[in-house]
Structure formats: C-alpha cells, structure tokens
Structure 1
C-alpha cells in the first residue's frame, strides 16, 4: 500500500475531525483534553531529571564547611561561617552565620553583599512567614533586621526557608578551638571541589525503576483510552463512508486520522497545561518539596519523543481497536452481540512478566545490580496484563449477573452490550492501584533495611540542646527548664580524657552533672555532691577497662593532644580522688548509649576543666503545650545563636530512601490528579454519547433517580472488578519484588485496603461531579434534532 494513500486517508480523517461541526469539535475537544492531561504529566516527567539536577547543582554550589577547607589560615579571601540550622513546626530552616575576614571573602550564591551584625538576608518564603501572624513565634528567634532576600541561585526551592545573618565573634570561637563539632569553619570558597560519590544501592535502584514504571504506565493507559473517545458515533460515521464507496481499509485509516487530529490537538492542550502547571509549581509545596518554575525544563530529546510517540500511539491504538470490527454500509457488526473474549492470550503478558522477574529472585543487594531492562519490561508486562485481563473479567462477570431493580437491570444490560468501553474507563485506575499496592509492599518490606534505632529513650527526654563551651551550663539549664512546656531538665557535661597529655595509650569519657542527672545515665549506689564514680562494663568502653584506670591519685588529662593535630591543645590535668564508687551503666538512656568512663558531680570537678567539656541539656516536655518545641528553640537561641536544639526520635531513616519515598508521594499525587481529571472527561464523553437514550427513557416515564442509580451501577461494577483484579496483581508483583530483594514476604493489609480505598474514592468523587451534567441530559427536549 502506497504512502500517498495512507497520507490521503489520514488527512481526510483529520478534516472530518476539525470540520465536522459542533459534534466534531466537541468530540475532538474531549479527546484533546484527555490526551492533553496525559501529555502534561509526561512533559512534567521529562522535566524531572533536569529539576533534580538543578536542585543538586544548587545544593552543591552552596556547600560551605568541608574537609577540603580545614586548616585554612585567616586571609583577605576567607570567611568564617557557622551552621544555625533549625526547625519551625516541622519545617526545616537552613541558617548560616557569616563573618567575613577580608575584602575578598566569598559571597554565598544568591547573595550580593554580606549582612552586617544584627542584619540578615532571608529567602522570600521565610520573609513571608516572618511577616505573617503565624511567624510571630519564629520572629522571636530571628530578631535581626531583614535587609534583603536571597536570590534564586542560592535556594533549592521556592518554598525553602533559609537565611544568612551577620555575627561577630565567630573567628574567636574558631581560634579557641570551639568549633561546636564542626559547625564553625573557615572557608575561601563555596562549593565542594571533591564531592564524595555514594556507591549505588541495588535495592534503591530497583525501587527507582519500579516507581517510574508504576507512575508512568497509568498515564500511557489514559492516553490510549482518550484517543478512543466517541467510538460508537465514529462507527456510525464510518458506516456512512462505506455506503458512499469507501472500503474497509480506507475507513480504518480515516478513523486513525480522526484520532491523529485529536492527539495532535492534545499535544497543544498538553503543552498549555504543562506551561500553566509549570507557572503554578512555584507556589506549590507537595510533601515539603518545592521547585522554581525555571527548574521544570523538559529534556529536548524526551519532549521530542513524547511529541512523536503520542500521535503514533493514537493511530496504532485506533487500528488495533478496529481490527475485529466489520464496518458495513448499513451498520457496524459491533452493534450485535460480540464474540466471547478469549482468555489464553491475555494471560501471556502477566505470565511473561513473571518469567522475566523470577530469575532475579534472591539477588538482594549482595549479588550485583538488577538487570534494569528485565525489571522494566517485567513490571510493565505484569501491569499491562491488568488492562488485558480486565475486559475479560468484566464480560465474564456481567454476563452472569441476575435480575434486580430497574436501575440494576439498565446498568447490567448496558455493561453486557459494551463491557469493553466500561473496562477501558477503569483500566487506568486499576493499573495505578496495582502498582501502588506492589510499591507499598516493597517499601514496607525494605523499610527496616533503611531505618535504624537511634537508641534515644524518648520516654525520658524529647529534646537535647547542645550548649557552646563559652556559655555556662547550669544557668542555661535553668533558663531552659523555665520554658513553658518543659517539665524536667538534665544538664550534663562530657569530655574525653586520656592517661597522657599527648598521644595517650588509653582513654575514656568523663561526664559531669548533678546527682539527679547522673542517675539518668548510670545506676549509682548513692550520690552526694562531691562524689566520683567509675562505670563498669559499659559497651562504650569495650576496649578499655575503666576499673584498671580508676586508681586514686592517678592523673588523667582532659582533651589530650594527638599526633597530627593542627592546633595546640590546653589539656587539663585531673587527679582521680580517693573514695571513687563503682557504678553500673543504664542501657540506652538519654544519649542513646550506655555511658562509661568516669562520672563526676559538680563539686568534685575543678573549675579549670569547664572549657574542655561539651555541655548538653536533656529536656522532658509536655507535648500538650502548643509549639513547645519551638519555645525551647527560642530559649536556646536567646542563650547563644550557636546553641543546637535537637528533637529526639526513636528511629531515623536513610536520607536517600526518604527522598525516594517523598518522590513517590509527589508523583502519586500528580497521577491521582490525572486519574480523576481523565475519568471525569471520560465519564462526560460517555454521558454525551447516551444523551438521546437518556432523554428517550425520561420521555417514557423513567424516573431520574432510577437513571442516576443506573449510571452509578455502571461505574461501580467495573470499578469493583478492577480493584479486585488490581489487588491480586499488585500482591503478586509485590511478593515477587520482595523475593528479588531477599526480603520476607509480608502483606500490610491496612495499606492494601488504603490503596484500594483511595482508588474507589477517586471514582466516587468523579461520579458525584458527573451528576449535574447527567441531570441536564435527562430531559425530553434532548430528543429534538435539526
């Protein structure tokens, strides 16, 4: 067959689509909207790699304190910087204090001039928060005058809370060795010149592959469904073409041309939707992730692929849909009872997918990376198998449905005549639910591999405040204890002591506090101010026998120096007193470890030792007090900007795993939005095609309530069947993926029910939104024609 004939017939189909009057334009517009929604999400997906890359580049460009900058001397091009990161109502705040040491000190990205002491530069989002009523509590913590905003090049997202403030005395703290555990440093540039590379984790790579397949496949299914809008009316037009002399092949090519026109128009709509969404993205925050619109630039190659693949898919899907339809001059054979669908070939896709995935069972993370192509094709085959099996399932079930009320009979008869159309509407939601169940099982199964216990006993304390060495610990503890919502405060100072002032052969920790605080970290026989204890058998001292070190009269040295130290240390001698008492460790209390070494009460500790100790205050909170964590942070900031409040948690999760999980939630939110919008468009198209039928039934006396219930049943039955099938396929895929990661198979039924419930809720919302148009269509006047 010549290319010229194909082009001629496709062109004729395009002309029918765009010159068919209001009916043709309505049909083309519905197709374009459905396709456009899918195209917009595909364009968003093609823009994600660039968005992630830009965020990573911006984050890397503003890296400050690194190993490569240690040991720098003060110069005209150096800057002393301190990390003041914090939180406000569970939102992270990136804070930095700056003290330039010369005229050529490096400026942070997005900053034109250094803030003076008492001034600060803030991100636009933080400025809006501080100026709002909800930011009143935060304004107490950041009292500096706002003199400007940080530019886009210095932020990773439009909603990021960040600030730079000017602060004096940072260089003095650095010279004194008070670097607050690496939170103060001297730099001559921003950005890490030697970024560390993390080795790839096969399980995380598997998760990434599955996430992308699960999120994108429903989009492709919806696009394939959208290009088949108006199928029944199209068939009647094709029959008319046969009546005037067109052969069967020509009518199919003309139908493909109509679908091509809708798909091309859908590309235009999709581009518009994407540009609108891109602009709105600057104001959106999804699961604490935000971007600037400039981040969302699709890859030209991937965008070209979408522009070519969508029209090509529209033509192929239309030709495939008409492969078994006999179009005759006087009608379409599809109007008669269709032949029963065959099951055997529909099982080939899911079984083939399993055949590709099963050989990788048991690989885990220790036997190399998973084959990305086999994983992608295998998961796609299993999920696409849902779309192949669902029409057969719907047909087989509705054929056996018995009698019932009038609304039930109307719905069942409609499904028996056009079960394929009903199944197509449900395909996208079924694929999405099946993928979501599998991913939920996989994430839940491997969660324990990326989550570890911190050892922090959150029943005893909920926050810890690190106090700088130049701030007296006891007055700081009193201030913190007086904060609203704080019920108890335990102040402890800790340092390292060795048996020699330089290069000690053995050493251990020294903990100083009052008796109440010391009892929280060790089991003491008795305690009075002035007592000293040594702890036996602590895990922390696995390589040291503290009992051998606890010799009265022995001199130990606080903060000993080691070979290679670049700064001189003022070690403090401490003579072990007589009458030391033995104590036993308390497992996992306060600091998350069983403290060993020596425990000393305040009176027994020489005053000269204070500068060599790091102080912390552990706080027990009344969680019922509003904003109690932020009240503690405000008190800590009033003591000194360098105090470091930390909120305790029983567990902590890998950052890479958490980022992937957040990405899944963001993508799932976008896909669910697309599902709802596309289902609504599809439902409206179905109602439009049945306008005259509904009007006829109303004219014959059928109650509107009965017709409304029939439409509800027509939606509910396929959805129920689709969710049951999706649950089975999702559980199967989830079990296979868990076996691949060498993880015990466990089904979280609450999550499975939640996934299916979300799918059902989306359909329910779509059905409710379609009721007003349905009521307008159920009028006898709809029978009038011109």
Structure 2
C-alpha cells in the first residue's frame, strides 16, 4: 500500500473509533467537539468583525449629507435638513428635521416617504424605547405621530436611536445659515484617515490577545480523554498495530473530533449571529447579516483547526510509549527541563524590545513582528506553567486527607492540570498588558475640556438665529421639577467704529447672579457695570483673538451688527451707539462653567443697551438635583419644545478621541466573548476530567471516603494550578505591558488596579465553573460508577 493509502486507512480507523467506540467513545468525541466548537465560533466571529464594521461605515456614509450636492435656491429636487440630535438617559439620539421643497426631493436611506409636518420616522430601537415605561419622559419630547419605521439601509446598527421629524416651517435663511442644509442627494464618499501607529498597535494587540486563548482552548479540547485513548491504543498494539500506526489512529480520532467541532462551531456561530442584534454595548450594535466572515478566512479556519488538532495530538504522544501490555506513562515521568521553555518568551522579547521608544513619531510598527513577539510571550505561559506546577507540587506533603489526595493527583499528572488553566492564564496576561497600555496612552487620547459639571450639568446654547426668547426659555427651564438653577447670559459685540476692522469688545448681559458665573464680584446690584481684567490666550471658540478687546468707563461704543452682516431679510441692521457707564468697576474674570475666560464688559439688564440687534449669542447654564436623574431629561424636553434648534450640551470634565474610544469598546466586546468562551470551555474540560475519574471516585466512596473530602480534593486540584497560573500570568502580563508602554514611548507605570481586576476576573470565572461542576461531581461518586460493560 502507498503511504497515502496507509494514512487514509489509519485515519479512517481512528474516526470509526471516535464515532463507533461505544458510549465512552461518542461522549469523548462530543466533549471534544463542544470544546473545539466554542473556539471555532469565536474565530468565525472575529474574522467577521472587520466586515461588520465596514458595513456600519458604509450605511453611515450613505445617509450622510457631508459634501453632498447642494442647491442655492429651492427646486423640485431639493430637501431641507437640519440636525437636532438629542440626549436621553445618557444615550445619544441622532435626530434630523426635514422638509421637502419639491416633489422629487431625495429620500433619506431607509425611508419610503418624507415625514409630513409634525410626523416622525423612527428607528426600531427608538420606537421600542418610546413604547416602554423607561421611555415615558422621552415620549413627552418626541410626541408626534409615527409615519414609518426606518429600514435597515438607513441604520448603522439595530440598536441605533434615530429619528426624522417632518416640518413645514423649516427654512434656510441665507447662505450663512449653517443650521440648515439644502441638499439634492445623500451619500458621502469618505476618505477616512488611518489610525496613528499607537492606535494601530492597540488594534493588533487586541486581536492577538483575544484570539490566543481561543487557540489554547482548541489545543486543550482535542486532548480530551487522552488517558483512556492511550489505554485503547495499547490494546491495538496487542493485536498487531505498530507504534506509528497507533499514532495515526490517534490522529484520526482527533481529526474526527475537530470536524465535529467545526460543525458545532458553525452552529454556535449561527446561533450567536442570530442573537447579536439584541446586544448593544455602549450604543454600538451590528446587524446579524453584517457578521459574514470573508470566504478565505472561513476556509482558513476550516483547514487550520483540523490540522492543529492532528499536530497537537502527535505532539502530545511524543513522550508516551504505547506498548501491547500498557502505557509506560504510568511510570514516574522525567523532570521537565526549563531551558527550552524560556526560549519562547526570550525570543518574543527579542522581537519587541527593538521597537521601544517609537511612539507615533517613527512610522508604523511592523505588525508581523509585533504579533509574533506577543504570541511567543503568551505561548511562553503555556510551556512555563507545567514546569512551575511540577516544581511546586513536587515538594508538597502532609496536610488534611483532601489536600493529600489533590497533591498526589497533581504530582502524577501535573500536565493535565496545567492544560486546564492555560487558557485562563493566557487571557489574563493579555488583558493585563492591554489594560496597562490603554492606561499608559490614555493621556494622549483624552483631553481636559475645562468644563465644570459641578457648576452646571448642561449649557443651553441659544443660536443667534433662533426664534426662542432666552429669558422666557430660562424661566421655563427653571420651572422644571428638580432644576435648581437656570442662569441666562447674553453676549453681543461692540466696537469703537463701524464696520469693525479690528478686534471687537464682548458685551455680556445678565443678572448679578448670572454675571457671578463669569467674574469675581465683591458686590453687585441692578444697574451696575463692570470691566473685566485679564486677556486670555486665544481659545478654540476664538482662535484668532478677534473678540478680546477692552474698554474703559465712559468710552463710546457701537453695539450690535458691528461687522455689517446681512440679516435674514437681506438688510444690514445698523448698530446702536452706547456709552460705557462711568461708574463701571474693574473686576477679575472667572472661567464660566464651560471653561471660557471672558474679556470685555459685564452689564446688568438696566444698564445694557436697549437694542442689541439680530446677532446676539446666548447661553443658559442649568444646574439640577443630581439625586433626581430625570431632572436633566425634563430640562432637555423643555428646551426641545421651545426650539428644536437650541442645543443642550452636556458638560464633561474630559473627552476621548473617537478612535481610542472605538478600540476600547471593541476590546470590551471581545473580552466579554472570551470570558464566555473561557467559562464554557473550562466547564467542559472540568466535566471531562471528572468523567475520566468516575471509577476512581466511586471506588474511594465505596471504601468509606467521605464525599466532602473528595469534593474538597477536587477543589484543591483546581485551586492550586489556578493560583500558580494567575501569578505567572500577572508577571508575564506586567512585563509585556511594560514593553508595550516602552514601544508607545510612554513611561512605564504599573496599573495595579487593572492587574488586580483582571486577575480577580480570571479567578471569578474559575470559581463559577467550579461551583457548576459540583453537582456532576456528586453524581459521579455514586456506587454505580463502578459498573462496567
């Protein structure tokens, strides 16, 4: 027979043993298939994520009006659209007001018709929210009749909160009215900027760190039932099979189990994909149809998993001598050597250390070099842990009976115990390293806004072209239950001559209480005026310093339209002459709740000019009772009802760069999936090991051993490897994190909260799995476990 025929025959015989070897055979194959299937499902999901993200971006670009074709005047094919986004219960709601100016006005993607005046088109998630008790306050804000539900082409994800509000009063008042766009079509051909080198490094590391535990679990799953398999192979030697033949038969069993795993994994993936629409993390979700792995990646998984199963099986048999009368592995094994186990992490460090200190200033990191280094470091855990466990348990002796039983079991087969926790150790090490890197670079992608949420939760920005009455709006907001304060401030521009060709002077008008938000006042009464001291550096709102002029008491100024802008009617309003009160006092400026340090003049209403024209800016700073979470949403509802174009901006201490935030969200998605895989695979592994020791456990119970003693011994057998594995994982994770921070040109700083948190998460998964395995353990201790066929 040719070599190919020999391999085919022996692999086929192994497959027959896997499926036709009686109850023990198919149970072992099923457990292997479940373990491999969980890993395959996560691999398929991982390969589908890039396509899902691309589909989200494509639908978002398809409905965008950025750089869309526009028109200067109404026409049969023009549509007016304005953004009126909202916030509810700390969730962002994308909103647009629309008005068709002709019969051929373009339809937003996902709509069959443009909503009529007062009608709303809602996304499915927003429609569901409005129908629940949790959306009661939002129904007061969005209370129009629903014209239709937005279809999939108009949504980036199933959990997106989006609405279109029809209007018959929406108008574009001149070319400088940037609130409203007049478009003739939708769609934006985005030329997205690539991630900077450090963010790209984080993406690569996230994929490597999350997929490595999957590979480890698959390698562990194909070794289920190893001891029983070796005894069966010894029987085959007795009837004439040589050593090479039995290894090929063992490979055939592993291949059969991996093929079952591929089938089950495909089923798990299909089930998970059908449920993904109901999952929304940090307002990001994907449609099931978007999770479609690239064909070549799916083929790669289908080929790599069986090949890895065969390779792992042959590697596991390298130190096992299978003879006709038994398996020599039952003798005392030789001590594991350390030298070659240290080579893998050392080579990994050798790949990563030369990349240190590059950061964002020296081009992109070599992705293959980074991936190879990280993989070798994490694989180093899987080869170091058996050696560490053997050295630690080899010197243990004495103690309670349960402890002695556990220690003796670990001394006999420390490799099996190490395999049980390898996946968790790799996952924890990778998570610790990533958390350290995220914490180290957070300062580069998170900036202080200068805002003070303690002084105002929301800043209501009243646009200069709005029809809202600012004082009336402030009173309306202040009347909302649990709103403790609503402070309005109006700002106008003044100049010594018109049209103003140089810097202008900011005139801020408000009550004494309001002016106290922008200046330090020793005393104030109605009719007072103040001159602010301290000219701040140019701000993001005034990068050229055009509004930083100063004035003195008695100066004659022009207030209002000092730059000669045209009004909504095409006219150019004349500014008003006004004299700075002679009694104006000089006071120091103070940052307002938005962090702006103002200059110019402060005046109370009675001392202000009678007319300030059509071009004022206004803000209302709103404080709420923090113990009443609905107060903020009621205030936003009052603002929306007064004028949808008025912006209620939530004040925050910091803000994150979009790319950094997205990567961290992706890490959260992946970490949740890996934790589920860890728990499921560990439970399967635990049950498989208990099943193999059923007869031993039943024998000990029959001879009078207490069940509590055996239960404790099983717990100790799990606890000792877990503790050692987590200690090793923490050490490797901290070392890898330090190297990665050096690569990102960040000072090495150990984030002990992340280290302890990730270690505790790994230990928590083990505790849950151990508790779930106790009921099967008690059943396996019954006397009928001695029965054989």
SS of aligned partner of 1:18: helix
Alignment match of 1:283 (pick from 266, 278, 281): 278
1:335-374 paired onto structure 2 within 5 Å = 335-374=330-369
The residue number in structure 2 matching 1:768 is 771
Give the TM-score normalised by structure 2.
Answer: 0.95
Q: Which residue of 2 aligns with 1:22?
A: 23
Work out whether residues 522 and 583 of structure 1, in 8 Å CA contact, stay in contact via their aligned partners in 2: no
Structure 1 match to 2:137: 137
Q: Between 721-730 and 112-121, report the one with greater CA deviation.
A: 112-121
Q: 2:223 aligns with which of 210, 225, 228?
A: 228
User: Is the partner of 2:550 in helix, strand or coil?
Assistant: helix
Q: Quote the Cα distance in structure 1 between the aligned partners of 2:496 and 2:383.
A: 75
The offset of 1:5, in angstroms, is: 1.9
Residue matched to 1:650: 653
| Residues 1:262 and 1:199: Cα distance change in structure 2 (over 3 Å) | closer
Number of aligned positions between the proteins: 779
The alpha-carbon deviation at position 561 of structure 1 amounts to 4.8
**CA gap 1:566/1:628 in 2 versus in 1, 3 angstroms:** closer
Deviation string, structure 1 residues 624-672 (Cα, Å, up to 9, x no partner): 1131211111111221222221211111111111111011001000000
Task: Identify the residue that residue 394 of structure 2 maps to in structure 1.
Answer: 399
In 2, Cα distance between equivalents of 1:81 and 1:483: 30
Q: How far is the alpha carbon of 1:756 from its aligned partner?
A: 0.4
Distance 1:567 1:225 in 2: 76
Alignment map for 1:648-687 (pairs within 5 Å): 648-687=651-690
- Note if 1:248 corresponds to 2:250: no
- Could you report, residue by residue, the CA deviation over 1:139-180 in whole angstroms, capped at 9, with x for unpaired residues? 001110112100011111111111111122211xx216784x
1:537 is aligned, of 527, 534, 539, to 534
Closer/same/farther in 2, CA of residues 503 and 611 from structure 1, 3 Å limit: closer
Residues 578 and 130 from structure 1, CA distance in 2 versus in 1: closer, same or farther, beyond 3 angstroms? closer
Does the 8 A contact of 1:387 with 1:431 survive in 2? yes
Aligned to 1:598: 601
CA positional deviation for 1:607: 4.7
Whether the 8 Å contact between 2:429 and 2:732 is mirrored in structure 1 is yes
Q: Secondary structure at the match of 2:674?
A: helix
- Aligned residue for 1:539, secondary structure, equals coil
Cα deviation, 1:316-369, whole Å, max 9, x if unaligned, reads: 011111111111111111111111100000001111111111111111111211
Aligned equivalent of 1:148: 148
Counterparts in 2 of 1:71-82, with a 5 A limit? 72-82=72-82
Distance in 2 of aligned mates of 1:333 and 1:567: 98
Aligned CA distance change for structure 1 residues 562 and 243 (closer, same or farther; 3 Å): farther
Alpha-carbon distance change, 75 to 332 in structure 1, aligned in 2, over 3 angstroms = same
- C-alpha distance in 2 between matches for 1:124 and 1:68: 26
**Aligned equivalents of 1:313, 1:579: Cα separation in 2:** 86
Q: Are 1:3 and 2:22 matched, yes or no? A: no
Describe how 1:85-234 pairs up with structure 2 within 5 A: 85-171=85-171, 174-175=172-173, 179=177, 182-193=178-189, 195-234=190-229
Secondary structure, counterpart of 2:556 in structure 1: coil
Aligned residues of 1:500 and 1:560 also touching (Cα < 8 A): no
Identify if the C-alpha distance between structure 1 residues 559 and 170 changes in structure 2 by more than 3 Å, giving closer, same or farther: farther
Report if aligned partners of 2:356, 2:745 keep a CA contact under 8 Å in 1: yes
Which residue does the alignment assign to 1:779? 782
Alignment deviations for residues 80-136 of structure 1 (CA, whole Å, 9 cap, x no partner) = 112111121122211111111111111111000011112111111111111112211
Partner of 2:577: 575
The whole-number CA distance in structure 2 between the counterparts of 1:189 and 1:293 is 28
1:560–1:571 CA contact under 8 A, matched in 2:
no
8 Å CA contact 1:572, 1:608 repeated in 2:
no
| Shift, 1:191, TM fit | 1.8
Confirm or deny: 8 A CA contact 1:353 1:382 kept in the other structure.
Answer: yes
| Rounded Cα–Cα distance in structure 1 between residues aligned with 2:98 and 2:461 | 20
CA spacing shift, 1:415–1:637, aligned 2, 3 Å: same
For the 8 Å contact 1:495–1:559, the answer to whether it is kept is no
Q: Distance in 1 between matches of 2:562 and 2:342?
A: 71
Provide the residue aligned with 1:753 in structure 2.
756
SS of the residue 2:477 aligns to: helix
Contact 1:461/1:620 (CA < 8 Å) preserved in 2? yes
The Cα shift of 1:569 comes to 6.9
Tell which deviates more after alignment, 224-233 or 465-474.
465-474
